[in-house]
Amino acid sequence: MRNTLFTLAALSVLFFSSCVENSKAEKESTIASGMKDQSKISANDPTTADSALVGKKASSAEVLAKKEVPVLCYHQIRDWKASDSKRAHDDIIPPANFSQHIKMLADSGYHTILPDELYDYLNYDKPLPEKPIMITFDDTDLDQYTVGAKELKKYGFKGVFFIMTVSIGRPRYMSKAQIKELSDEGHVIASHTWNHKNFAQFTDEDWEVQIDKPTKTLEAITGKKVEYFAYPYGVSKAASLHKLEEHGFKAAFILSTKRDLEYPLFTIRRIIDPGTYTAKNLYNSINKSFK
Ligand SMILES: [Zn+2]
């Protein structure tokens, strides 16, 4: 992930020149975000029609008072190498461990849910399946497609893939076709910025570069709306959370830090399932972290 950043300098020159030239794309993007803005305020919008039937949207305090649904976060799924640091073992889970952990979830009666279900539960009290859990993957790594999705499929589980769009099609990352396939199979494709820039350090320009353009890219690949976001490094910034909503997002995911009192939907907690955990460790961690 960090290695990626070092290779970006050259790309960014290309990127910014195309950004300036592509005024048509920018106009389309403005229209698209305009549509999304409308959808937020219109109670009759088809995307919220189901939810509207359930009742009034919950207040922030009501959202915070609900039982939290466990959300797991994965990065690389591969065997450790001698060159990996000990710290990296938190973000790298060997396939055999991953397989055992997912099996444990199935054996323990967990059912995977997707962000729309979580959103409707938090806002409108829509019922969830028994023992709900969300499984998420960050950073676009290819092994999430080859190993991750394959393991989930054994149990009929669905996951959420937070894509860093700069990596699409690069070696060891997923291609457009693979992302589309995941989407078609019922997994959710969501945003993780263009090049993993820290959200707390966004400039005005980054709302186009790191947010609107990646949304358009992913929507073009999947043919579906992109409405969920995960913060790189899990780092959010209270003063900017309203802007994510203005840019068309329904909710966003942090790591295991504290939720924002005003914007709990934009600070939904996740825990990392470290490569060093046993399945039992994971089970205990889920129950300790989500109350
Ligand atoms: Zn990331």
Q: What is the pLDDT of residue 53?
A: 54
Cα(53) to ligand 1 centroid in Å equals: 36
pTM: 0.82
Instruction: Please write the tens of the pLDDT for every residue from 227-256.
Output: 999 999 999 999 999 999 999 999 999 999
CATH number of the domain enclosing 13: 3.20.20.370
Lowest mean pLDDT among 11-25, 47-61, 197-211: 11-25
The rounded Å distance from CA 45 to ligand 1 centre is 32
User: Alpha-carbon torsion 42, 47, 52, 58, what sign?
Assistant: negative
Digit-coded pLDDT (tens) for 149-169? 999 999 999 999 999 999 999
Question: Average pLDDT, stretch 183-199?
Answer: 98
**Is residue 269 scored above 60 in pLDDT?**
yes
| pLDDT, tens digit (0-9, with 9 covering 90-100), for 118-132 | 999 999 999 999 999
Instruction: Find the 252 Cα to ligand 1 centroid distance in Å.
Output: 13
User: How many angstroms is it from 274 CA to the middle of ligand 1?
Assistant: 15
CA of 206 to the centre of ligand 1 (A): 17
- What's the average model confidence in pLDDT over 26-49? 39
50 CA to middle of ligand 1, Å? 32
In whole angstroms, how far apart are CA 285 and each of 56, 187, 256, 261? 33, 24, 11, 24
Contact 281, 82 (CB under 8 A): no
**What is the Å distance from ligand 1's center to 196 Cα?**
6
Q: Name the average pLDDT for the chain.
A: 87
What is the whole-number distance in angstroms between the Cα of residue 27 and the centre of ligand 1? Answer: 29
Q: How confident is the model at residue 288 (pLDDT cuts 50, 70, 90)?
A: very high
pLDDT band per the 50, 70, 90 thresholds, residue 54: low
Among 8, 38, 22, smallest CA distance to 213 is for: 22
State the residue range of the domain holding 193. Answer: 2-289
Check: CB of residue 4 under 8 Å from CB of residue 167. Answer: yes
pLDDT higher than 70, residue 24 = no
Three-state secondary structure string covering the chain: CHHHHHCHHHHHHHHHHHHHHCHHHHHHHHHHHHHHHHHHHCCCCHHHHHHHHHCCCCCHHHHHHCCCCCEEEECEECCCCCCCCCHHHHCEECHHHHHHHHHHHHHCCCEECCHHHHHHHHHHCCCCCCCEEEEEEECCEHHHHHHHHHHHHHCCCCCEEEECHHHCCCCCECCHHHHHHHHHCCCEEEECCCCCCCHHHCCCCHHHHHHHHHHHHHHHHHCCCCCEEECHHHCCCHHHHHHHHHCCCCEEECCCCCCCCCCHHHCECCEECCCCCCHHHHHHHHHHHCC
Count up the domains in the chain and report the number.
Answer: 1
| CA 18–ligand 1 middle distance (angstroms) | 25
pLDDT higher than 60, residue 290: yes
* pLDDT for 25: 36
Q: Which pLDDT tens digit goes with each residue over 82-100?
A: 999 988 988 999 999 999 9
Can you give the pLDDT at residue 55? Answer: 76
For ligand 1, the distance from its centroid to the CA atom of residue 230, given in whole angstroms, is 8
Ligand 1 centroid vs 232 CA: distance in angstroms?
4
Quote the pLDDT of residue 13: 38
What was the pLDDT predicted at 6? 45
Question: Is it the case that residue 226 has pLDDT exceeding 80?
Answer: yes
Distance CA 285, CA 257 (A): 14
Say what the pLDDT of residue 33 is.
Answer: 39
Ligand 1 centre to CA of 193 (Å) is: 9
